[in-house]
Amino acid sequence: MINVFLDDVRRCPPGFVAARSADECLALLAECEVNLLSLDFELGIGQPNGLAVVHGLIAAARYPKEVYVHSSSAMGRAMMVKALREAAPGDVIVHDGPMPEAVLQAAAAAKEGR
């Protein structure tokens, strides 16, 4: 099981696998079981955005255990959170905002085997 961090610019936190594009993220989601997923909205000019990832998740009905939408785009974040909350099964937790420090520390520690 892996944790995935989708962002074209921000540094990937320890304990996460970086996805720098929507296509990379969707490939990881298709190939791996994902525990935590953190999504950005804007992924570069002319590139599919984080909402494309959300639509891909919904179409495949393949969800991580928990999703954080860390985008600084208020409009993009709101659209992604709304779509996820409307479509995801009840056991999928969707957070409107970035991961808290405790979650980041736990992911890093788990990766190190602590």
CATH number assigned to the domain comprising residue 11: 3.40.50.2300
- pLDDT beneath 50: ranges in the chain: none
**SS3 at position 1:** coil
* DSSP string for 38-85: EE-S--STTS--HHHHHHHHHHHT---SEEEE--S-HHHHHHHHHHHH
Question: What's residue 80's pLDDT?
Answer: 98
Q: Of all helices (H) and strands (E), which one includes residue 11?
A: none
Res 111: pLDDT? 74
pLDDT value at position 110? 87
Q: What is the pLDDT of residue 12?
A: 97
Instruction: Please state the pTM of the whole predicted model.
Output: 0.94
How many whole angstroms separate alpha carbon 86 and alpha carbon 113? 35
Instruction: Give the SS3 label for residue 36.
Output: strand
**Which residue range forms the structural domain that includes residue 107?**
2-112
Say how far apart CA 27 and CA 25 lie, in whole Å: 5
Query: What is the number of domains present in the chain?
Result: 1
